[in-house]
């Protein structure tokens, strides 16, 4: 026997009205996105909803409503399987890339939990704490933190490595971090996909936007250098290639002493420099010796006539 939904039931009518209302709302916005609510703290969800209120709407939907809303659009119908997990539907005028970037900019710190895996080294820095001597001292030591008592307070004697990257956090380590108020993890909204009316952008594709500008720039430079080295003219490199060709032709003309309007000035300048260098090698003319004049007041004896 087939089960038929009673459309006159109050709860069913409410869902039908909700589907119709959201379907109409979707037509007013540029982007439709799904947000994964699993492991997303409610406080962060409410904060994001408040910030998105100025430029969109956030609907936390049950599976029955979500599937019918997506089914109303032929291009979103294939994403219905995503509704198996708890989701929120986002309508916004931001592009999918802008929305994904918005979520990344609004992360929140969270405390460690037993079983968490450290995504990087967790180090407690050297310095004072606000903890008084007592049971906390033993708890911190059990967590691998080098502590001692100074001035009536617990002090971290030196930087202490609590967990290496990839290490699973145990109870004592978690308790030690929580006692110090250290929150080594970040939580952010996980966008499943964004739809701009034409294309569907998955999370993997959207995350490429973080480095896409650097990647495109690097690819352009590599292609540019390759085309220059291969002397392959394109719209982007022809000016550089022509400049190099002019320089090479001038060098050939100078080395072969071929006169042209582009080389004559440098050839003449080179000739003047060479002439100056040669001139410096010619020895200076010796000066003629000066005649010695007899001094009238000399003490030398004068010649006398023979008598």
Would you list the domain boundaries of the chain? 10-107+188-209, 111-186, 219-277
What residues form DSSP beta bridges with 108? 187
- 111-186: what fold? Molybdopterin biosynthesis moea protein, domain 2 (3.90.105)
Asked whether the beta carbons of 133 and 154 are under 8 A apart, the reply is: yes
Q: Which of 204, 195, 191, 192 is nearest to 76 (CA)?
A: 195
pLDDT by residue for the chain (307 residues), tens only, comes to 454 556 567 777 888 888 999 999 999 999 999 999 998 989 899 999 999 888 889 999 999 999 999 999 998 999 999 999 999 999 999 999 999 999 999 988 999 999 999 999 999 999 999 888 888 999 999 999 999 998 888 999 999 999 999 999 999 999 999 999 999 998 999 999 999 999 999 988 888 756 666 767 888 888 888 888 888 888 888 888 888 887 887 777 777 777 677 677 777 777 787 777 777 776 665 555 555 555 544 454 545 444 4
Are 160 and 124 in contact by the 8 Å Cβ rule? The answer is yes
pLDDT for 219 equals 82
| Residue 141: per-residue pLDDT | 93
**According to the model, what pLDDT value does residue 169 have?**
94
Q: Which CATH architecture has domain 10-107+188-209?
A: 2-Layer Sandwich (3.30)
């Amino acid at each position: 026997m087939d089960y038929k939904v009673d459309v006159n039931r109050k709860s069913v009518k409410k869902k039908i009205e909700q589907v119709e209302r959201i379907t109409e709302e979707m037509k007013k916005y540029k982007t439709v996105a799904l947000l994964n609510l699993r492991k997303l703290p409610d406080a962060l969800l409410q904060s994001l909803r408040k910030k998105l209120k100025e430029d969109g709407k956030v609907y936390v939907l049950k599976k029955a409503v979500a599937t019918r809303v997506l089914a109303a659009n032929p291009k979103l119908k294939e994403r219905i399987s995503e509704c198996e997990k708890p989701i929120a539907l986002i309508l916004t005028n931001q592009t999918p890339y802008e929305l994904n970037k918005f979520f990344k900019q609004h992360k929140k710190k969270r405390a460690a939990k037993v079983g968490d895996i450290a995504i990087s080294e967790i180090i407690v820095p050297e310095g004072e704490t606000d903890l008084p001597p007592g049971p906390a001292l033993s708890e911190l030591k059990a967590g691998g933190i080098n502590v001692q008592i100074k001035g009536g307070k617990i002090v971290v004697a030196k930087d202490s490595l609590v967990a290496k990257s990839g290490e699973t956090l145990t109870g004592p380590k978690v308790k030690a971090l929580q006692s110090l108020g250290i929150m080594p993890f970040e939580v952010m909204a996980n966008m499943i996909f964004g739809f701009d009316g034409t294309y569907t952008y998955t999370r993997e594709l959207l995350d490429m936007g973080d480095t896409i500008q650097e990647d495109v720039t690097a690819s352009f430079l590599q292609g540019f250098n390759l085309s220059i080295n291969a002397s392959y003219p394109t719209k982007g490199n022809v000016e550089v290639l022509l400049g190099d060709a002019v320089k090479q032709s001038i060098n050939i003309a100078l080395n072969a002493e071929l006169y042209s309007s582009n080389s004559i000035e440098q050839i003449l300048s080179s000739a003047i420099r060479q002439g100056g260098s040669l001139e410096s090698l010619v020895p200076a003319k010796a000066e003629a010796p000066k005649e010695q004049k007899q001094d009238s007041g000399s003490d030398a004896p004068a010649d006398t006539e023979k008598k």
